Amino acid sequence: MTTTEIGQAYSRVRTYSEQICEPLETEDYVPQPVAFVSPPKWHLAHSTWFFETFILKNLVPNYKVYDPDFNYLFNSYYNNIGERTIRTDRGNVTRPTTRNVYAYRKYVDAQMLELLDELADPAALAMVELGLHHEQQHQELLVTDIKYILGHNPLFPVYRPGCNLVDGTNPATGWEQIPEGVYEIGHEGPGFCFDNELGRHKVYLHSFEISRALVTNAEYIDFINAGGYRDFNLWMDEGWSWVTHSNIAAPMYWYRQDGEWYYYTLDGFKKINPEAPVAHISFYEASAYAQWKGMRLPTEFEWEIASQTIPWGLRWEWTNSAYLPYPGFSKAPGAVGEYNGKFMINQMVLRGASVATSPGHSRFTYRNFFHAHERWQYTGIRLAR
Amino acid sequence: MTTTEIGQAYSRVRTYSEQICEPLETEDYVPQPVAFVSPPKWHLAHSTWFFETFILKNLVPNYKVYDPDFNYLFNSYYNNIGERTIRTDRGNVTRPTTRNVYAYRKYVDAQMLELLDELADPAALAMVELGLHHEQQHQELLVTDIKYILGHNPLFPVYRPGCNLVDGTNPATGWEQIPEGVYEIGHEGPGFCFDNELGRHKVYLHSFEISRALVTNAEYIDFINAGGYRDFNLWMDEGWSWVTHSNIAAPMYWYRQDGEWYYYTLDGFKKINPEAPVAHISFYEASAYAQWKGMRLPTEFEWEIASQTIPWGLRWEWTNSAYLPYPGFSKAPGAVGEYNGKFMINQMVLRGASVATSPGHSRFTYRNFFHAHERWQYTGIRLAR
Amino acid sequence: MTTTEIGQAYSRVRTYSEQICEPLETEDYVPQPVAFVSPPKWHLAHSTWFFETFILKNLVPNYKVYDPDFNYLFNSYYNNIGERTIRTDRGNVTRPTTRNVYAYRKYVDAQMLELLDELADPAALAMVELGLHHEQQHQELLVTDIKYILGHNPLFPVYRPGCNLVDGTNPATGWEQIPEGVYEIGHEGPGFCFDNELGRHKVYLHSFEISRALVTNAEYIDFINAGGYRDFNLWMDEGWSWVTHSNIAAPMYWYRQDGEWYYYTLDGFKKINPEAPVAHISFYEASAYAQWKGMRLPTEFEWEIASQTIPWGLRWEWTNSAYLPYPGFSKAPGAVGEYNGKFMINQMVLRGASVATSPGHSRFTYRNFFHAHERWQYTGIRLAR
Amino acid sequence: MTTTEIGQAYSRVRTYSEQICEPLETEDYVPQPVAFVSPPKWHLAHSTWFFETFILKNLVPNYKVYDPDFNYLFNSYYNNIGERTIRTDRGNVTRPTTRNVYAYRKYVDAQMLELLDELADPAALAMVELGLHHEQQHQELLVTDIKYILGHNPLFPVYRPGCNLVDGTNPATGWEQIPEGVYEIGHEGPGFCFDNELGRHKVYLHSFEISRALVTNAEYIDFINAGGYRDFNLWMDEGWSWVTHSNIAAPMYWYRQDGEWYYYTLDGFKKINPEAPVAHISFYEASAYAQWKGMRLPTEFEWEIASQTIPWGLRWEWTNSAYLPYPGFSKAPGAVGEYNGKFMINQMVLRGASVATSPGHSRFTYRNFFHAHERWQYTGIRLAR
């Protein structure tokens, strides 16, 4: 990107985070109902801390940090401060206030924009670009974490009237055929990518077919009605434990009332749209559904090849690939190197993007990843055979 | 109380709850960091719900509840709403907002004051009085829960400058001697009391001595320095498990820095005042300290007799009495009967009052009770021998 | 006791422990299915270790311990052995073998009997007597722990044909009346007692009535059929949590099959005898049953006075007294002082004795104690009012 | 296999299981110290149950099962028996006795050998062969579970004098170079294999080097001494949690005493042999070690190709491949289909074989798999780059 472009991108991305939070009440910024959901206040501060720590402190001479305490409150890791060590849960840190966090953003933004006016060093620009993509990742988490917080309130509050992200429908049907052969996988070229997409390399694919449409709510209800959640033969062993111990019988946010299915959406409690692609399901559920249909999930390599000719972008799509390094993967030295590599165990790859993904934050080679039981993201199912 | 008195009492008590919350930021009203601490917002709403449920709904013809959802949000028990059952943690319920909770208080207060203007039925007046004492109990919890929330924030925010509740000193010294004999225990007469104080009855006390002063911070530091937390001979078996598994080595809110002891107070992080009575200790710690001194804690019966001639009121004082019913104790029918009786197992009695107790909410016969490991209240030690 | 008497008592008690284990297979000696149940092998070794440690090592010149490793395997406390520290669960310690444990007993018994032939020092004789009472306590635990191990095997193996301890019936009916007054409580005089019975002291009792019979299985089934386990108004708050989280709906070892109640007994799986006193119930169940009958459990002081005129001995009887020290209670110095005092928190007193209590191991002043949820002992209900 | 061959194989395999148990005391057959370790008694019975259930009950007319209760005791799944449902931990099931389990083996073996004399149906013979391979898998578990049971006894008992499986040394050194290209993976041809090895297929491998030797104890001690267990940059995020929460600082069975490293072996407590390949390490440790060396673990596909020219068989070798289905993998219908497929999540593949693997139970295409933290098997490290 040019200096002008990056300045514009910076403003656009930073503003978008705050637009996501516009409908919130102050109280909504605070809680962390489960470990994997962070308080909106924390997302806003943490993405700001990234720019302060990796750009401003390194590049602005005599930069004065906004508040020295913020370093251990808003980096992502466990901290201690000598003998006064306190381990805190993010959801209990009421101070700094939301107002103060917005002031922090304003302070950092002003300094960043001043800096960006004349920043030309390619390594520094790359770090800014990484910061923007990092903030876009937190934007999607903001949306899903807000949904989690409001959706676990017995009052089912509306986030934004009319903002029902889950009701879009499949733009295509039928099956795409991909022939056997050696294919190239991974990112190459000038655009941005994360380190886990690098190392463009060859894979051998056997011929396969992949659905042009995602599994719909109506199809998924068939699975439920056929007893899919009660037939252990369809499930991974650990998936069956999860279903049993957590009493799972439907996707997250689904409720059955008087024989009808409803779901919580960001527009409130609604009757389920049968034609929309199913959302908020775990890998275990995606895998059991595929097993029930006598089919399977695609690998991430099959997906990457097929995605160049089929429509995608409504749901993060579970693949049957574990999140592992590409040949030649190496971690950058220091804190930035912790971005991806250390999570390459016990997680499954999702490909595509979702209705909650920020504009401009998707590409064929993007590798998203979550644990097999996680489902608070807008996750869905595409079948292969 | 007369009709005028009860109206004045109502205004005074209800206002006091809001005064306690005055220094809070909106964010501080939200979290529930541990199960035994409730969000300030919840205390404000729950004490209001009490009046709405037990007074207004019963006595005001065609009373219109402020919000029908509030019943299952703000009673103290687990609830379900048919097929839409959701179990929620109090700390994650961001809506209704704090502003809305204050509006709820205003709505109920207006109706209550109108009602109290002409309320004469003794049973109804007694229920109002119970509601006020109930709210005073929540006032002390408000203070201690706010301290817990702010005191577990790594920034150690000040609640109210100058408001340091823990630095008062003992007004007396020496030992009080009480002779052997049959004594009368429990409440009798016209004033208010809870059901667990009723059933005035006789007990036989053997002669004993009881300290006129509470154990001070300096004395407690001697215990720490003598290795009190590392000598299992001093501890109850379950106390030793607690010390070991929870890594306890000092009272709650104490920190050692560069060889000096500090504590978090509502006025911020301070050096410890050696002459103030020790606070925020568990029964286990009180018991171990007494064992180390070769003395013991008084029983609640000894305390009740002695308290008529010695000063008290700075700390809730752990006794060596388990919380059990008095002879002839019986529970009121219905929800109000759940107030005390069902907690009469595995808790220890504390007598007296503390610096956080609301004005007018203490008496010789008052029986407070907590689990042996709990210490977020202003609890202290009085020795007997 | 005289020297001859103590020698005879030693042989009798030590032999009885082994008679209890006679019907066991080698495998039955090994497991510890839950923390509160110890392996029979451990009981046999631990009671032997007591004599070796507190008598032989102190009194026999140049005494050679049977195996130096046994000290940390068979004392009751957590141990470490320098850098080779290993924390072990008793149920996984397969070596020493059962055969070796019996050899250990034989070795210690031979030396003990030789010593007892000429032992005259009163303090030493008192320690031997304590060791015998200690072993008798473990004998009752042997019976109940064996029942637990066999009773949690899906095959429900018979311990000893004809040995059905739970089918005895009440020898009396009606109510005993005890007048108000000052009474004396606790042990006095020459016979043996534990330190927790000492400090004979006065208590004031208000007049009460106590049942001459224990609650029977038939009466308890009425409580079940009336929905007693589903009405939270009858339960202590913590009792209700226990019922709910542990899915309790009947006494331990009870099973409902084709509309009939059965229980596991040491004589195998049997139809319930309606006239026998109910057994294997927790304090929570005893308390809820009493609440349902509109009555209460006696205090331990009421029980001690009444027990001099009513029959008892079939079940350990839950009282509504917490296990606390008597006035003037003091712990002996050293390890023996840990016997009772450190358990005086969060436990309830049971009085009397049970069908599993060893002969000669019961008296009016005996104070047994367990946690409110424990019920693998032969525990029952006597009502007061 | 021919009918004669299968009869001989049956006798050889079945006898070998009992030879493994020869040094055990009866008590050693009982415990299950952790969920992933089964009692030796259970292994002996379960592998027998397999033949009774899948062969004898299907093929022998009027076959009389040895004991109908054994079905729910010795299959691998959760069971219930109507209203008498009991969930049991394997380690607490003292009956049937070990003697009875041996009688069960004898009974089934007699009937099996009689049947095998004339068995010609290929599907039936394949099922017998599967049962033998199944028993061989349990033989390796028998060795490692016995080591776990004895190795967690503070007495560190010797299993069999002279039987020290961990002291063998690497037969080769240096690096093997494998060129880029399309390779074939998976089983093909007449020999036995499990379903997870089927679906011979092509993969594209980039060129790589793989070590001819496994990492030795001396090399691993260098890693420990360099602070490898304390540098979180070397670890997977979940690996670092494991190290931290479980206090891991060395391989399983290692102890440091007076500055020297020792380990528990089946021949007792010994000084560590520096030249032997390190054993009993988790995937997390293997991965951190590779990271520290600036290298990596091979994928299972790289391993399968390289293993045809380098020596292996001392340790199960962690690969950096997740356990996932091969293209075209399908599960057999019914219980046998549960053998492998349902475990294809959150586990890592190990290739090769170990010193504890039964003779004849290894091949190039064998896919073993465990969770990333498990290390009670004889697991080791081979590096790639």
The answer to whether the CB atoms of D27 and C25 lie below 8 A apart is: no
AA letter at A294 = G
Q: How far apart are CA D330 and CA D199, in angstroms?
A: 9
Both tokens of residue A61? 């001479």
Write the CA distances from D338 to A234, A237, A354, D196, D344, integer angstroms: 10, 9, 34, 11, 11
**Placement of tokens 């309320």 in the chain:** B119
* Mean pLDDT along residues B372-378: 98
> Is the CB of residue A9 less than 8 Å from the CB of residue A31?
no
D interface with C, Cβ–Cβ < 8 A, is: 25-31, 33, 41, 69, 72-73, 81-84, 86, 88-89, 91-98, 149-150, 152-155, 157, 255-258
Q: How far apart are CA C197 and CA C133, in angstroms?
A: 14
Nearest CB to A33; choose among B26, B89, B149: B89
- What pLDDT, on the 0 to 100 scale, is given for residue C244? 92
- Strands C379-380 and C316-322 come out as parallel
The answer to whether the CB atoms of B324 and C324 lie below 8 A apart is: no
> Is the CB of residue D204 less than 8 Å from the CB of residue A182?
yes
- What pLDDT, on the 0 to 100 scale, is given for residue B338? 65
B contacts of C345 (beta carbons < 8 Å):
236-239, 283-284, 287, 348, 372
Measured between CA atoms, the residue of chain C closest to residue B181 is C202
- What pLDDT, on the 0 to 100 scale, is given for residue C73? 86
pLDDT band at B82 (very low <50, low <70, confident <90, very high): very low
The neighbour count for residue A185, using CB atoms within 10 Å, is 21
Could you tell me where the DSSP H helices lie in chain A?
Answer: 3-21, 40-51, 57-59, 70-74, 98-116, 122-151, 217-225, 237-245, 283-292, 300-306
A interface with D, Cβ–Cβ < 8 A, is: 182, 201-204, 206, 233, 235-240, 283-284, 287, 296, 320-322, 324-325, 327-328, 337-338, 342-346, 348, 372
Alpha-carbon distance A29 to nearest alpha carbon in chain B (angstroms): 8
Examine residue B23 and say whether the peptide bond preceding it is cis (omega within 30 degrees of 0): no
> Is the CB of residue C297 less than 8 Å from the CB of residue C383?
yes
Phi, psi of A17 (to 5 degrees): -55, -40
pLDDT band at D76 (very low <50, low <70, confident <90, very high): low
Q: Do chains D and C touch (3 or more CB pairs under 8 A)?
A: yes
* Mean pLDDT along residues B184-212: 95
| Chain D interface mutation, best of C41, C95, C104, highest count of D Cβ atoms under 10 Å | C95
> Is the CB of residue A145 less than 8 Å from the CB of residue A373?
no
- What pLDDT, on the 0 to 100 scale, is given for residue A297? 98
Q: Do chains C and B touch (3 or more CB pairs under 8 A)?
A: yes
Q: Quick one: B76 exposed, middle or buried, by C-beta within 10 A (0-12, 13-18, 19+)?
A: exposed
Hey, which chains touch D, using 3+ CB pairs under 8 Å? A, C
| Nearest alpha carbon to residue A367 among A348, A380, A354 | A348
Q: How far apart are CA A184 and CA A301, in angstroms?
A: 9
Q: Answer yes or no: is pLDDT of D105 > 60.
A: yes
Torsion sign (Cα): B148, B151, B155, B161: positive
Classified as helix, coil or strand, A194 is coil
The answer to whether the CB atoms of D322 and A327 lie below 8 A apart is: no
Mean pLDDT (chain C) is 93
Q: Answer yes or no: is pLDDT of C2 > 70.
A: yes
Both tokens of residue C265? 């007994």
pLDDT band at D88 (very low <50, low <70, confident <90, very high): low
Examine residue D325 and say whether the peptide bond preceding it is cis (omega within 30 degrees of 0): no
- What pLDDT, on the 0 to 100 scale, is given for residue D73? 86
Q: How far apart are CA D212 and CA D222, in angstroms?
A: 20
pLDDT tens readout for residues D39-65? 999 999 999 999 999 999 999 999 999
D interface with A, Cβ–Cβ < 8 A, is: 182, 201-204, 206, 208, 233, 235-240, 283-284, 287, 296, 320-322, 324-325, 327-328, 337-338, 342-346, 348, 372
- What pLDDT, on the 0 to 100 scale, is given for residue D104? 98
Rg (CA), chain C: 22
- What pLDDT, on the 0 to 100 scale, is given for residue C83? 33
The answer to whether the CB atoms of B204 and C204 lie below 8 A apart is: yes
Cα–Cα–Cα angle for D238, D239, D245, nearest 5°? 90
Of chain D, the percentage scoring pLDDT greater than 70 comes to 95
Both tokens of residue C39? 């392996």
- What pLDDT, on the 0 to 100 scale, is given for residue C78? 37
* Mean pLDDT along residues A170-183: 97
HSE-up of A66 (CA within 13 Å, CB side)? 26
- What pLDDT, on the 0 to 100 scale, is given for residue A264? 96
Looking at this predicted complex, what is its ipTM? 0.95
- What pLDDT, on the 0 to 100 scale, is given for residue A330? 82
Q: Answer yes or no: is pLDDT of B79 > 80.
A: no
Classified as helix, coil or strand, A202 is strand
* Mean pLDDT along residues C129-158: 96
pTM above 0.90, yes or no: yes
Written in H, E and C, the secondary structure of B255-304 is EEECCEEEEEECCEEEECCCCCECCCCCHHHHHHHHHHCCCECCCHHHHH
Classified as helix, coil or strand, C244 is helix
- What pLDDT, on the 0 to 100 scale, is given for residue C335? 67
For D291-310, the DSSP string reads HHTT-BPPPHHHHHHHTTTS
To the nearest 10 degrees (0 to 180), the angle between helices C3-21 and C122-151 is 10
AA letter at A260 = E
> Is the CB of residue D289 less than 8 Å from the CB of residue D223?
yes
A contacts of B91 (beta carbons < 8 Å):
31, 91-92
To the nearest 10 degrees (0 to 180), the angle between helices A40-51 and A122-151 is 180
B contacts of A80 (beta carbons < 8 Å):
none
Nearest CB to B33; choose among A89, A152, A153: A89
Alpha-carbon distance B93 to nearest alpha carbon in chain A (angstroms): 6
Q: How many residues are there in chain B?
A: 385
pLDDT tens readout for residues A68-109? 988 888 876 533 333 333 445 889 999 999 999 999 999 999
Mean pLDDT (chain D) is 93
pLDDT tens readout for residues A6-15? 999 999 999 9
| Chain A interface mutation, best of B32, B88, B92, B256, highest count of A Cβ atoms under 10 Å | B92
pLDDT tens readout for residues A28-79? 999 999 999 999 999 999 999 999 999 999 999 999 999 998 888 887 653 3
pLDDT tens readout for residues D339-379? 678 999 999 999 999 999 999 999 999 999 999 999 999 99
Q: How far apart are CA C183 and CA C204, in angstroms?
A: 6
pLDDT band at D338 (very low <50, low <70, confident <90, very high): low
D contacts of A344 (beta carbons < 8 Å):
236
Alpha-carbon distance A149 to nearest alpha carbon in chain B (angstroms): 7
Of chain C, the percentage scoring pLDDT greater than 90 comes to 86
**Placement of tokens 């399901």 in the chain:** A281
**Edge-to-edge strand ranges of the sheet holding C379-380:** C368-370, C348-352, C316-322, C379-380
* Mean pLDDT along residues D256-282: 96
* Mean pLDDT along residues A226-246: 95
Both tokens of residue D384? 């790639």
> Is the CB of residue A75 less than 8 Å from the CB of residue A48?
no
> Is the CB of residue D369 less than 8 Å from the CB of residue D345?
no
Hey, which chains touch A, using 3+ CB pairs under 8 Å? B, D
Q: List residues bridging with C182 in a β-sheet.
A: C204
Q: List residues bridging with D317 in a β-sheet.
A: D351, D380
Close Cβ partners of A373 (under 8 Å, ≥ 6 residues apart): A239, A242, A246, A282, A283, A284
> Is the CB of residue D5 less than 8 Å from the CB of residue D129?
no
The b-or-e profile of A325-361 (16+ CB within 10 A means b, else e) is: bbbebebeeeeeebebbbbbbbbbbbbbbbbbbbeeb
Alpha-carbon distance A204 to nearest alpha carbon in chain D (angstroms): 5
pLDDT tens readout for residues D137-164? 999 999 999 999 999 998 999 999 999 8
AA letter at A102 = Y
Nearest CB to A26; choose among B26, B157, B255: B26
- Strands A268-271 and A260-265 come out as antiparallel
Classified as helix, coil or strand, B203 is strand
Classified as helix, coil or strand, C262 is strand
